[in-house]
Structure 1
């Protein structure tokens, strides 16, 4: 069955008693035991909840994994994954990285003796040069946030396996509709499901998918023990969002491609970072390992002084954090999503005071371009 059909049918044939097409929200935290020593399969909602189970089964199947785990946020999912590691363990992590991941590693995990080195994960020589005897895993964002750097997952996963390392891939920006890292050799997938999977800026959630019996059992233990699980109402909202994922991602990609091409030719714009553009350095790898492109990209203005008036004058596009929803959002990474990364590191990577990140929604592309045009014109007029 094609992925579009599997998405649309999430939970629709899973309620045999009533035949409900929309799987019910089981708000219960406790479940009766038929008798001593027997269970319905559900005992306590932190461990297992019927609504959450349908969601977890769906994401595992969509990502070609063995088990899925729904968490209360993307960061909760990441913390649960990091609990696989112990004092003295070392991770290799994508150089261009979401600021929240950097904050968790540097300000929290470091206190427990887990360290990280940030490298270009597409460069095997750099990975090898920074690999330590204590290295346990490679954490990859591809595309990265916000500079859209691409890593060849299959290449890195093969290298990691030769050294007994886990390959963890953040698949938030592409989703299983466009990219399935486990099929390319990854061991663990993480999603900030708040973003494209939910898709409507109305639910906070994180998802984990694992491959392999032992790893899945470890993750199940950590998921239950840490307890940052997703509630049943949010699980239902997330499933509802996922049903339209295919349609939304197609529109996101169409709009983002058109707008990135528009910005590429705009005299006020210096650079556009989007893997759908043929001159992007990761264009070939992206086309090989995925079936399309995400709806988010970044661009640099020629003059940093235009940033504030542009953000003040956009109207249809909202100046807001987050990404992946049906509404278009503009973000200023240097002071929002990546503020926790030290300035010298941000600037070295390219996240400077001229960079804007654009999460393109599903509005009509002409209206979005018109909004950008008037905001750019207003910014230019203020500076003249």
Structure 2
């Protein structure tokens, strides 16, 4: 949501048009290409609908048209998905999330596949003065030390919770690429080594949303993601509120959708917390 708003503001001032398409469907990407297209920006899985893009195929398409491929790899982290090894030119991370891992630092990372592109990025970064302070850098280094352990636990917990949500009467749809029913499941197995800790799910009535958010205790109602604590977000009113309602509803970010960043707590505690919050609605 924030990316949508910022890109529109930045590029509209420069007279540049940004086309938003579901890159999980490469035909949409092909249709959106123009003679002056410079880059293909991919987020996979997407936030919050968890659409999965076939990175090797998308990168091959970009190369055919002499485009840069930029991949937002925040949800998967370098532990589970490494787009540079698949041929991407630039990978970005919100390092505030899984790389930091403790919800206590604000940072971003940009990684380039070749030194010449890296030098261009370094020049702009230096000119803008957008560098981290020593404390922020130390926090990121601390987080990276436990990245592998944390990602394994996020993944393990998320799969258990996704299966539990799938069986709940008040849940209409669960979006998690680790479920075999997810349309991107086979692609994820091909290009990643895990499925991550992010789940989105749609409940059967909007009133359930407020009840869940008011009654969870182990899970915190908060916008961020990727930390050791489990956080639940209401995208339509928080992270994606800047997107026009018509577009949100069309892509599935409705008033019934919740996003869950599954932490590293014991999964039984998380499931009990969700069960009690759902029970509060049914009482």
Look up the match of 1:140.
42
Q: Deviations over 1:317-348 (max 9, x none)?
A: 10001000000000000000000111111111
CA distance in 2, matches of 1:208, 1:326: 23
Which of 161, 174, 177 lines up with 2:63 in the alignment? 161
Gaps of 5+ in 1: 1-98
Larger mean CA deviation between 99-108 and 366-375 belongs to: 99-108
What does residue 173 of structure 2 align with? 271
> Which residue of structure 1 lines up, in the alignment, with residue 182 of structure 2?
280
1:181 aligns with 2:97: no
**SS of residue paired to 2:29:** helix
User: Are 2:123 and 1:221 equivalent residues in the alignment?
Assistant: yes
Cα offsets for 1:291-335 (capped at 9, x unmatched): 001101100001111111110011111000100000000000000
Moved more, 205-214 or 242-251: 205-214
Q: Which residue is equivalent to 1:103? A: 5
What residue ranges of structure 2 are gaps of 5+ in the alignment?
none
Per the normalisation by structure 2, the TM-score is 0.99
- Retained in 2: the 8 A contact 1:136–1:165? yes
Deviations 1:33-86 (A, max 9, x none): xxxxxxxxxxxxxxxxxxxxxxxxxxxxxxxxxxxxxxxxxxxxxxxxxxxxxx
Confirm or deny that 1:129 pairs with 2:50: no
Q: CA deviation at 1:216?
A: 1.3
Match of 2:210 in 1: 308
Task: Quote the Cα distance in structure 1 between the aligned partners of 2:61 and 2:216.
Answer: 45
Give runs of aligned pairs for residues 1-384 of structure 1, distance below 5 A: 99-381=1-283
Tell me how far 1:226 sits from its aligned partner: 1.3
Residue-by-residue CA offset, 1:94-143 (whole Å, 9 max, x unaligned)? xxxxx011011112321122221111212222111110111100110000
Q: Could you tell me how far apart the structure 2 residues matched to 1:107 and 1:217 are?
A: 26
TM-score when scaled to structure 1?
0.73
Superposed displacement of residue 213, structure 1: 2.6
Cα root mean square deviation, aligned: 0.8
Counterpart contact for 1:306–1:380, Cα < 8 Å: no
Output the CA distance in 2 between the equivalents of 1:327 and 1:123.
33
Rounded Cα–Cα distance in structure 2 between residues aligned with 1:313 and 1:249: 27
Measured in 2, the distance between the counterparts of 1:167 and 1:279 equals 28
Aligned length: 283
Computing the radius of gyration from Cα coordinates, the structure with the larger value is: 1
- Measure how far apart 1:280 and its partner are: 0.2
Aligned-partner Cα distance in 1 for 2:229–2:90: 29
CA distance in 2, matches of 1:187, 1:296: 25
Distance in structure 2 (CA, Å) of the matches to 1:145 and 1:125:
21
CA contact (8 A) 2:216 2:274 kept: yes
Instruction: Please give the per-residue CA displacement for 1:179-226, whole angstroms capped at 9, x wherever unaligned.
Output: 000111100000000000000000111000001132111111111011
